[in-house]
Amino acid sequence: MRDDRLERKAGTFFAAQLRRHRNGERSAVQALVLGWAALLVHSLQFALNTWVFPQPFESPALRALGAAVGAAGIAAERMGPRYCELYVPIAVAFQLPFFSTYMFLMNDAAAAWAQWLTVATVALFHFPTQLALRAYAIGTLLACACVVLHGRGNTILTAAALQQLPVHAFVIGLLYAARVGRSALEQEKLAGMGEGLGAVAHEMRTPLASMDANVRGLTRMLQADTAGSGAQDDVRQAMTRIQYEVRHMNHLIDLFLLSANAVRRRLDPSESVSMADAVQSVLRRYPFTSPAQRSTVAVDVRANFSFAGQYELTVVILLNLLRNALKAIHRAGKGRVRIVVDGNRKPPRLLFIDTACGIAARRQPFIFHRFYAYPAHNGTGVGLALCRQIMHAWNARIRCVSRESAYAIFVLEFPVQRANVPSGEP
């Protein structure tokens, strides 16, 4: 029971730290984790290596530098995603391969430091593969260069040091294979979902078409019968509502199929897309349930802009955001949606604002994670993750700023378009 309380307290502490970064950017979370881990590990490791298990070589100055780099990560998380993106590669290379390799060699390839070096390598390759490989190469080479400058270069060529190379190669290969396997399973699950949505759409169209035909037949019969005009009006209104629902369901099927196909297509930008045209197209295509629901959505085009992307994928992003906003309004029983196209900003951006139920702070770091649905059992958890994947493929950025029970703002920022690309059809 005591251990459970300690785990809950620790989880609460780290969750509170993560909640400070509200837009859920991966680089900010990485900077925060690296910062706190560096502060804790350097402090504890220095105490162990100095007083409990003394090592032949220890460097208080290097430990202080490592702790300072960790503190910089915590500060970078507060300063914003751009600083985090600059900080993470430097901190990863310094804290993991450089520091561990340097201490391993300066301690004459001691067995304890060999184990620490292996642990650091495993931790390193939990980061994206390209980042990890660059950090491993740069950090290891810099560590070897520093060891040579200290006059200990002969340690690099000892058997105890060289035998770490095949161990590291095996560890890196194993972690890469595990990552590829997870990615393949995830893609298979996404493909299965897409096929499932296609099958559902196919099965639903047949009864819907039959229902629509029957309603049209009944409507013609009522028009031909002049008796009981009051009852006829009621029935005619009911038939109109049924037809509207049929059209609504068909539009939803089109939306599901569009999202399913986006999962399997190439995401690279291939055309110039007008944001204002895309927004207007989405408003024409979205299956609003009533004129009252349509009136809750307002568009403010401060300045139109174009960007390098794909028109249909832009529609997928906007449809997902609009659907989520209208669902939030339905859950909250209040609110409106405002779409702001702001090409005067640098970078140009689109704001998707709803004043409904907002998103709880503790949930915000996860809403762009694949298969994470908020609220629970509300959808598949694919929509926002797909939006973010598409935006990243276009070198663009999507983030969320929200206050629970008040508002949610999705900010989509696009790079300035420099080259003329054939424009997509609105």
* Cα separation, 352 vs 300, whole angstroms: 11
Element (H, E) at 129: helix 129-149
The model's confidence at residue 79, banded by pLDDT at 50, 70 and 90, is confident
pLDDT at 217: 72
pLDDT at 244: 67
pLDDT at 203: 56
Mean pLDDT over the full length of the chain: 82
The model's confidence at residue 251, banded by pLDDT at 50, 70 and 90, is low
pLDDT at 384: 87
Which residues are within 8 A (CB) of 226 and not within 5 positions of it... i.e. 6 or more apart?
Answer: none
* Cα separation, 297 vs 282, whole angstroms: 12
pLDDT tens digits, one per residue of 345-387: 889 999 999 999 998 888 888 888 877 777 665 666 677 888 8
Element (H, E) at 403: strand 397-403
* Cα separation, 58 vs 262, whole angstroms: 54
Mean pLDDT to the nearest integer, 253-263? 64
What one-letter code names the amino acid at 48? L
pLDDT tens digits, one per residue of 149-205: 999 999 999 999 999 999 999 999 999 888 887 777 777 677 666 666 665 666 566
Cβ count near 76 (within 10 Å): 25
pLDDT at 228: 53
Length of the chain: 426
- Would you state the structure tokens that stand for residue 71, as one six-digit string? 């503190």
Say if residue 24's pLDDT is above 50: no
Say if residue 102's pLDDT is above 90: yes
The model's confidence at residue 1, banded by pLDDT at 50, 70 and 90, is very low
**Which has the minimum average pLDDT: 23-37, 159-173, 228-242, 356-370?**
228-242
